[in-house]
Structure 1
Amino acid sequence: MHINKLTDWLPTTNKEVKLRGWEELDVILFSGDAYVDHPSFGPAVIGRILESYGLKVAIVPQPSVNDNLQDFTKLGTPKLFFGVTGGCMDPMVSNYTASKKRRDKDAYTPNGDKGFRPDYATSVYSNILKEKFPDVPVLIGGIEASLRRVTHYDYWSDKLMPSILETSKADMLVYGMGEQPLREIVELLQKGVPFSSLTTVKQTAFLLNADEPLPKNKNWEDVEIQSHEVCLKDKKKFASNFKVIEQESNKLNANRISQKINNKTLVINPPFPTMLEEEIDASFDLPYTRLPHPKYNKRGPIPAFEMIKFSINIHRGCFGGCSFCTISAHQGKFIASRSQESVLKEVDKVANMPDFKGYLSDIGGPSANMYKMKGKVQSICDKCVAPSCISPVICSNLDTSHKPLTELYQAVDKHPKIKKSFIGSGIRHDMLVPEFNKNADPKELDDYTEEVMTKHISGRLKVAPEHTSDPVLKLMRKPSFKYFHKFKERFDKINIKKDLKLQLIPYFISNHPACEVEDMANLAAETKDMGFQLEQVQGFTPTPMTVATVIYYSGYHPYTLKPTKTPKSKKEKDEQHRFFFWYRQENKDWIKKTLNKVGRTDLLDVLLPEAKDGKAWKKVNLKPVKNTFDDAVPSNNDNPTIGSRRKKKQYSRKKRR
């Protein structure tokens, strides 16, 4: 077995640079995360790609910004450029909860210690580098740079901010998954093209002086969005920008976007086509140690690494296009899938790690069950501008076969050292319901569901209906909650047939745009009626580059420009949350008063039947369902929503059935 040496990692100090016999470096990377040499951690992937071109690369993880800034100068001046990322999560999501409280832990730091990543890390690092090395180009990337590439709303400062290129003073930004633009940048630099001339690389953005013309490119059409100054004055015009940005980000033949910012012009070049199988395989097949750098050995485990240590990422991208989720904005809506051979090669590497006990924690991706799914006729996809392939209905051109995924699971389980492989990523349960997924063979869907339930989960299957209100679900780009009911029927059927005793765990979001207090009351009644008692719930967190965040700030839906209400005050948010916890003694009187006030005694009868006729409160005896939901992204729903008389009757009819 190979024993790792210090030189198996990218160097992080002068001593490690000297160990490799290097006198100077070509590229120095700065990251807000601790350095984990693993394909799930972006800085490691970027470093290994640069290395594959014969470049001398070093990485400075979590540089200190609270001292004499020696971390920024200790490795000297790189020949080509500095690369900067805030880390695998936006630093503000890493540092703060949805209620803007500082988090107790940072998952990307040894021992979960906080305080090693500054707020707005990309801008902080880049500004320091531009001050210390004004003549060296700075290239920024990662999710923070990607999602903040245009004028965007920042929830934590509660204001509109310009492109991160303006605040960071960086020379160029790579958005989305960075492998393709990085390879082209390196190849051009190695041919002697100056960094300042790299103006036509796809999937990059940069600033020009306002009087400079846009670089010539006969293959691209141009579209100009509302300027930053106009956005500051007019929320509706700010909202109108998002439709253009989202559609151009997901087109296969996109336009180049420009935006005026003060006395400059932001230029965003069109994205690369989705990575081919051999391209994504190449990223995962680089010589990672798959371990944190040895410098952390005495500082404690890195929580994010511990979580994915024995997991396998099989694809990137998500065609769900959920309104509150940043995945498609960063990874794209088209799926880039690895080959089965590449996945099995990685499984073998994991299986031979010294502390591997036979259990893979996840074979998944942004959504676990989108592997190998793509358009049947590519020319139809080429013209498509829809932000989602499955909302409001599944596109008839989308191949939703789960057979390749079922076969992949079975191939993984044949490895002699694998005792069990779990699916830890979220499964799109709606795609397993034939009434919704009309493209697929129902037997294939049942085979996949049974495969997952019998072999790949332990006790609980987590899915994300997200809500029960049709208007809220429509805005979320999620299907009707009736499909969750239908999935639960199939789940229960397999559970009984196989005598599995598994639990179904649904995730929900409160405070989402278009959600009213009555919608939450209806959600509570509906889930109680199904036998769920929710213990934790995700509050909507506005993050840059999502439909829901644009609505939250502006009050307008970016596609219709119609006013759309969002719960924003602490009182509104707290009230929506209280309905989740209808069974808590301290909430019962408030719920009774609120539902009587709005004339919804039908819901009161369901939630608190003991409140009728002033009877004493009885202890509710339901099996609790722990709903842990991370503060960042995820998923799906319907039901008779509440408000109109017709809807009240709809709920009553359903109850009688």
Structure 2
Amino acid sequence: MQPMMHKLSDWLPTTNKEVKLRGWEELDVILFSGDAYVDHPAFGPAVIGRILESYGLKVAIVPQPSVHDNLQDFTKMGIPKLFFAVTGGCMDPMVSNYTASKRKRDHDAYTPNGDKGFRPDYATTVYTNILKDKFPEVPVLIGGIEASLRRVTHYDYWSDTLKPTILKDSKADLLVYGMGEQPLREIVNLLQKGVPFSSLRTVKQTAFLLNKDEEIPKNKNWKDVTINSHEVCLKDKKAYASNFKVIEQESNKLFADRVFQDVGNTKLVINPPYETMTEAEIDASFDLPFTRLPHPKYNSRGPIPAFEMIKFSINIHRGCFGGCSFCTISAHQGKFIASRSQESILKEVDKVANMPDFKGYLSDIGGPSANMYKMKGKVQEICDRCVSPSCISPVICHNLDTSHKPLTELYKAVDSHPKIKKSFIGSGIRHDLLVPEFNKLADPKELDAYTEEVMTNHVSGRLKVAPEHTSDNVLKLMRKPSFTYFHKFKERFDKINIRKRLNLQLIPYFISSHPACELEDMANLAAETKDMGFQLEQVQGFTPTPMTVATVIYYSGYHPYTLKPMKTPRTKTEREEQHRFFFWYKKENQQWIRNTLTKVGRNDLLQKLLPDSNNWRKNKGNKAKDTFDETVPFSSRKKKKFNKSKKR
């Protein structure tokens, strides 16, 4: 295959001049996006544009329209025949614009040169309101991660408020949640048959608002469930928490119920999701004619960081059956894995290998979790009845086929391409699936074969995994396995490392300030990981994002499945203190750690973290009690008591 030379018309048009280049007089759909336009299958707006194009529509994209001038970006392309489409981009704009501590980020990975300020807060709502103000009669369809996760009453961390469905504030006509290929196909099919946009009320995987006096659309194949109204949620946090169990279960069932929620004088209707995409369906999405490059309009503005990171990567599946309490993947992509065929993947590998600047190295062959490819239920009827949000917590489901053989074979097929020097696994690997003591029904030899294949041929010095915490109480709430299994995995990693003389590093990811996490849990985490030889780098503070169990607990104080009260670090001081234990090795934190652990009587942990503390106390004497590092105030000066940590 020869490298392709592209012309401007190979991208979806972004200006009227580019529309004319295609010989079009009018457009069917105009798509507004919070991201710069990168025509690549890893960028949702590009996928949606290409999907609509594949249905025979004339589509243009307006990336990062300006909301600070006369708003000409919203009018320059005219009025579409069918509808406007709006997405905030590949990330929720609030996550893109702010850190976990609510500080403005100094860059935007989806903008040329990483420049900030090109994506407004709550972009989907901002864009849609502008369109509705200027073109009130033209339907607006919203989708993408922001719309998907905000489709029902949700807690917004950045404003510290409980917000109604995004349909209310945005005034959009219809919302597509999850991956958009299947609902868009039906929407376009109905519109092309002459069905009015206002009558699109029974399309799966969509949501909309009805006035109270409007008749509820009928579908004899669906059952209905009603959750607490938005107004009740505003008054009663426990009622809000109880909603989430229904929302999460219905989002992850293969045959779900339709969900109703009253919002003021309207009723929110969330239709059930589609079944998991078939191999042929997901292949068709990835086989669309992407240029795999940013639009040429950005050539003089600098590289787009998010694109540079995935430029030579391959996405092999969607979905994640982990169901982690802090993660939004299953809420958007679902828990059932949709895997591409090996043929489709190898076709994409060939395209990448023939890019002019490709040097022979694939940066990633992965997905939301790298090692879930081709994994599914052994008996489909069991999966059809399942309501569990996770297939591997608290234990691995007996019906889940966790064979890593197809993935090992795929890696070898990729590496056999003559232009591939090495393919890396950059996505996170579920290490617990590779531990026979946890994955009890798997063939240990097969798990070892996969682990050895990855370590030997697909790691560049460091293998990243995500145990997330060391406390069993926190891990149970996270829907993650005991830290014991990380120890087991590290033992296997170390044996292979020594036997193969690989000199690899194991890099674990951890989270602080998660619900149920106490300050002492973080001290234990620091001590235990230090004892294992780690000086932690890959760490983050818990960020409450809509549509997760952990966020519901953070806001309400109740677990949505048990409705029992749960503690969570909420204040800025608590969160900063917890995070500080990650960096016990930094001099500026050590005096604070000494005072903190001495005050709560945990000299055992103090000796593990800072063994010279006995000498420190002798030198400082009683003065140490009054010496605090004020960089981060210590909220526990009110004689806060801790439970003794349980021995493993």
Matches within 5 A, 1:185-200: 185-200=187-202
Amino acid at match of 2:50: R
Corresponding residue for residue 76 of structure 1: 78
Unaligned stretches of 5+ in structure 1?
618-641, 652-657
Matches within 5 A, 1:415-564: 415-535=417-537, 537-564=539-566
SS in 2 for 1:497: helix
Corresponding residue for residue 227 of structure 2: 225
Amino acid at match of 1:610: D
Corresponding residue for residue 55 of structure 2: 53
Matches within 5 A, 1:78-477: 78-477=80-479
Q: Distance in 2 between matches of 1:454 and 1:396?
A: 30
Q: Distance in 1 between matches of 2:466 and 2:447?
A: 18
Q: Does the CA contact (< 8 Å) of 2:242 and 2:563 recur in 1? A: yes
Change (3 A) 1:389 1:278: same
Q: Does the CA contact (< 8 Å) of 1:139 and 1:171 recur in 2? A: yes
* Alpha-carbon distance, 1:536 to partner: 5.1
Aligned residues: 625
Q: Distance in 1 between matches of 2:60 and 2:585?
A: 55
* Alpha-carbon distance, 1:643 to partner: 5.4
SS in 1 for 2:376: coil
* Alpha-carbon distance, 1:213 to partner: 2.5
SS in 1 for 2:400: coil
Corresponding residue for residue 611 of structure 2: 609
Q: Distance in 2 between matches of 1:644 and 1:577?
A: 20
Q: Distance in 1 between matches of 2:221 and 2:589?
A: 61
Change (3 A) 1:443 1:118: same
SS in 2 for 1:488: helix
Q: Name which of structure 1's ranges 608-617 and 135-144 shifts more when overlaid on structure 2.
A: 608-617
Q: Distance in 2 between matches of 1:299 and 1:121?
A: 22
Amino acid at match of 1:483: Y
Q: Distance in 2 between matches of 1:337 and 1:423?
A: 17
* Alpha-carbon distance, 1:603 to partner: 1.2
Question: Structure 1, residues 432-463: CA drift from partner, whole Å, max 9, x if none?
Answer: 00000112110110000000001001111111
Q: Does the CA contact (< 8 Å) of 2:155 and 2:163 recur in 1? A: yes
Corresponding residue for residue 632 of structure 1: none
Q: Does the CA contact (< 8 Å) of 1:25 and 1:57 recur in 2? A: yes
Q: Does the CA contact (< 8 Å) of 1:512 and 1:548 recur in 2? A: yes
* Alpha-carbon distance, 1:574 to partner: 1.7
* Alpha-carbon distance, 1:608 to partner: 1.6
Change (3 A) 1:394 1:189: same
Corresponding residue for residue 3 of structure 1: 5
Amino acid at match of 1:309: K
Q: Distance in 1 between matches of 2:299 and 2:576?
A: 42
Q: Distance in 2 between matches of 1:614 and 1:347?
A: 58
Corresponding residue for residue 566 of structure 1: 568
What TM-score, normalized by structure 1, do the two folds share? 0.94
Question: Structure 1, residues 236-264: CA drift from partner, whole Å, max 9, x if none?
Answer: 10000000000000011100001000100
Q: Distance in 2 between matches of 1:512 and 1:305?
A: 30
User: Alignment RMSD, CA only?
Assistant: 1.2
Q: Does the CA contact (< 8 Å) of 1:398 and 1:439 recur in 2? A: no
Q: Does the CA contact (< 8 Å) of 2:175 and 2:206 recur in 1? A: yes
What TM-score, normalized by structure 2, do the two folds share? 0.95
* Alpha-carbon distance, 1:597 to partner: 2.4
Identity of aligned residues (%): 84
Q: Does the CA contact (< 8 Å) of 1:336 and 1:372 recur in 2? A: yes
SS in 2 for 1:534: coil
SS in 1 for 2:397: coil
Q: Distance in 2 between matches of 1:20 and 1:570?
A: 53
Amino acid at match of 2:479: R
Q: Distance in 2 between matches of 1:582 and 1:129?
A: 51
* Alpha-carbon distance, 1:607 to partner: 1.2
Q: Does the CA contact (< 8 Å) of 2:320 and 2:329 recur in 1? A: yes
* Alpha-carbon distance, 1:190 to partner: 0.8
* Alpha-carbon distance, 1:615 to partner: 6.3
Q: Distance in 2 between matches of 1:614 and 1:57?
A: 69
SS in 1 for 2:51: helix
Q: Distance in 2 between matches of 1:614 and 1:187?
A: 74
Q: Distance in 2 between matches of 1:97 and 1:227?
A: 31
Q: Distance in 2 between matches of 1:74 and 1:571?
A: 48
Question: Structure 1, residues 271-315: CA drift from partner, whole Å, max 9, x if none?
Answer: 000000000000000111111111111111111111111000000
SS in 2 for 1:205: strand
Q: Does the CA contact (< 8 Å) of 1:610 and 1:616 recur in 2? A: no
Question: Structure 1, residues 114-173: CA drift from partner, whole Å, max 9, x if none?
Answer: 111000000001011111111111000000000000000000000000000001000000
SS in 2 for 1:266: strand
Q: Does the CA contact (< 8 Å) of 2:508 and 2:538 recur in 1? A: no
Question: Structure 1, residues 326-365: CA drift from partner, whole Å, max 9, x if none?
Answer: 0000000000000000000000000000000000000000
Question: Structure 1, residues 48-68: CA drift from partner, whole Å, max 9, x if none?
Answer: 111112111111000111111
Q: Distance in 2 between matches of 1:8 and 1:474?
A: 49
Q: Distance in 2 between matches of 1:643 and 1:115?
A: 44
Corresponding residue for residue 625 of structure 2: none
Q: Distance in 2 between matches of 1:551 and 1:644?
A: 21
Q: Distance in 2 between matches of 1:180 and 1:378?
A: 21
Question: Structure 1, residues 83-133: CA drift from partner, whole Å, max 9, x if none?
Answer: 000000000001010011111110000111111100000000101111111
SS in 1 for 2:53: helix
Q: Distance in 1 between matches of 2:116 and 2:493?
A: 41
Corresponding residue for residue 626 of structure 1: none
Question: Structure 1, residues 402-447: CA drift from partner, whole Å, max 9, x if none?
Answer: 0000000000000000000000000000110000011211011000
Q: Does the CA contact (< 8 Å) of 1:255 and 1:270 recur in 2? A: yes
Corresponding residue for residue 597 of structure 1: 599
Corresponding residue for residue 25 of structure 1: 27
Question: Structure 1, residues 39-81: CA drift from partner, whole Å, max 9, x if none?
Answer: 1111111111111121111110001111111111111110000
* Alpha-carbon distance, 1:599 to partner: 2.3
Q: Distance in 1 between matches of 2:305 and 2:14?
A: 21
Q: Distance in 2 between matches of 1:545 and 1:556?
A: 15
Q: Does the CA contact (< 8 Å) of 2:507 and 2:538 recur in 1? A: no
* Alpha-carbon distance, 1:613 to partner: 5.1
SS in 1 for 2:377: coil
Amino acid at match of 2:266: K
Q: Does the CA contact (< 8 Å) of 2:510 and 2:538 recur in 1? A: no
Q: Does the CA contact (< 8 Å) of 2:403 and 2:442 recur in 1? A: yes
Corresponding residue for residue 581 of structure 1: 583
